[in-house]
């Protein structure tokens, strides 16, 4: 006799609610990091144009929602949505650091930008991934 276990797909509503809550948390975190960096004297200017602190939250929300949409698509189409989501988002996170490295900004600004990307990813990826079927 063999035992087969299957993981029931997570309802989209639960994935969306959890994903949006996590998105809000990540937006607050990236804004707080940017504000702390600015308070510590790190410039938020890239190419001579300053990035407003709320801009960090805005971009975090936009890209986190893109990640949430990716999770919803994978939940419906992938054989192992959690694995595929984590692999894909880790690659995308690594790619998101490339513009920071190449930016016309000080080393401290580049480091701060990369920190915000990594903080958002550290908050959003695991929270969404744990809601996906293994």
Going by pLDDT thresholds of 50, 70 and 90, the confidence category of residue 2 is: low
- Residue range 23-44: average pLDDT? 98
Whole-Å CA distances, 108 to 63, 89, 127 = 23, 25, 29
Q: What is the pLDDT of residue 134?
A: 86
Q: Is 35 exposed, middle or buried (0-12, 13-18, 19+ CB in 10 A)?
A: middle
Instruction: Kindly report, residue by residue over 36-73, the tens digit of the pLDDT.
Output: 999 999 999 999 999 999 999 999 999 999 999 999 99
Q: What is the pLDDT of residue 73?
A: 95
Residue that has been written with the tokens 């600015």 in this structure: 38
Kindly state the tokens that stand for 22.
């996590």
């Amino acid at each position: 006799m063999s035992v087969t276990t299957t993981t029931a797909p997570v309802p989209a509503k639960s994935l969306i609610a959890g994903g949006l809550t996590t998105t809000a948390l990540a937006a607050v975190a990236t804004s707080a990091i940017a504000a702390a960096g600015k308070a510590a004297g790190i410039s938020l200017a890239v190419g001579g144009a300053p990035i407003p602190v709320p801009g960090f939250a805005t971009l975090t929300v936009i890209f986190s929602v893109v990640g949430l949409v990716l999770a919803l698509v994978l939940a419906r189409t992938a054989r192992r949505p959690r694995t595929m989501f984590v692999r894909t988002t880790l690659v995308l996170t690594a790619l998101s650091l490339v513009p920071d490295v190449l930016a016309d900004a000080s080393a401290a600004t580049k480091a701060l930008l990369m920190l915000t990307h990594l903080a958002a990813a550290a908050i959003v990826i695991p929270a969404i991934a744990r809601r996906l079927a293994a």
